[in-house]
Chains A and B, each alone.
Chain A
Amino acid sequence: MKQYAYYPGCSLESLATSYNLSTLEVAQTLGVDLKEIKDWNCCGATAYFPVDELLAHTLVARNLALAEKDGLSDFVAPCSACYKNAYFTNAYLKKDPDLAEHINYALEADNLHVNGTMKVRHLIEVFIEDVGLDEIEKKITHPLKGLRVAPYYGCQLLRPRKDQENVENPQFFESLLSALGAEPVDYPSKTRCCGGSLIITNRKAALDMVHILLQDAVNRKADVIATTCPMCNVNLEVYQGQVNREFGTQFAIPVMYFTQLMGVALGIKPEKLGIGKELVSGEPVLAFAY
């Protein structure tokens, strides 16, 4: 069976362990063989690229090189930022022989070589494209019937503009949620940026961005917001209190990784999915759990 080079990324080892747990559980249930890349390193996230593009690419390329060395052809990242970085570095490596030469010169120190031949995808794409919605639907034991879920794409997941015209109104997340039996909520800001790490440099502006997202989801009567990225998840969940203080609102909407919702629907025990550690209780989701 096909193996995937799995790149969890730093967040999944620290503040997003529940994302890692649920990812591995769901993958196993769906028969997706994730092989974690040995000795992977940080991809530089969003911060390193503006500092030194070449070095940032090299950082990412090392992970790609490790995956290539394992003889695998598919690179999977559950974090939108990691995915975006890997996708572009991989694409540029193929397109720009000069860049490839520079990077490979650096990688030589580590006895590595990168070709840019990986197929780089986000975890959600792998589930939808390789497992397939029909197959997922068949395995559902605890359909999330009546649960109103706001699919939050965020911006980076869509930045490799694979389908030009749909990047403003993608539908794949909704389709996945429908397959789980849930009711996807249509709200206007699903592809809007969550602020990323802006909270560190401009707290007010960042809170404003989170405020808009929460307000939209709540206005459309969502029970829970589903995310595909640890950064988005943190911003939407952790800063609800600050938003409430700043804007006089009373948000208390659970924010969960899409893998956690999948896990619940697939009948996996909530503990195994890292559920129970959230700041805003996942109550509405737990109602469906095994």
Chain B
Amino acid sequence: MSEQFEPTIIGFTCNWCSYRAADLAGTSRMKYAPNVRLIRMMCSGRLDPTFVLRALSSGADGVMITGCHPGECHYIEQNYKALRRFLLLRRVLAGLGIEPERVKLVWASAAEGARFASETTAFVEEIRKLGPLNWGKTDDRQQTMDDVESSVVNRPSSEMEVPA
């Protein structure tokens, strides 16, 4: 029997909605796949796209970005900014030859523990289908990562951010 591939996924949550959705999934004892490891930020707007690249280049097979539903961000509208970055990031990933589907955006309110759980499990399955990314596992991983980071940082800033 060939062993099933267990992806490693980094999840970013905002402090107000999606992290609380994860809390709620816990207090409600909902079961979901154990492959996602979470990082809490204050808001999805804090998500620097380089974090995602860093995670992928350091061995994660996928990255899940979560935040409050549009219109419900606790900092008014920062999740719209996260959305824009997410869309641009997927283009950058495609340019780097990485399946853009490895990065997923999920909105989950503090009341949506069930949604958080089901989206997580679904995402794990999607990544399982895509297979391992193996980016961080090469020897010159530091080199690759530096390349990526600098290529992103050196892009014209207007491309990374559309001021409100």
Task: Assess A/B contact in the complex (Cβ within 8 A).
Answer: no
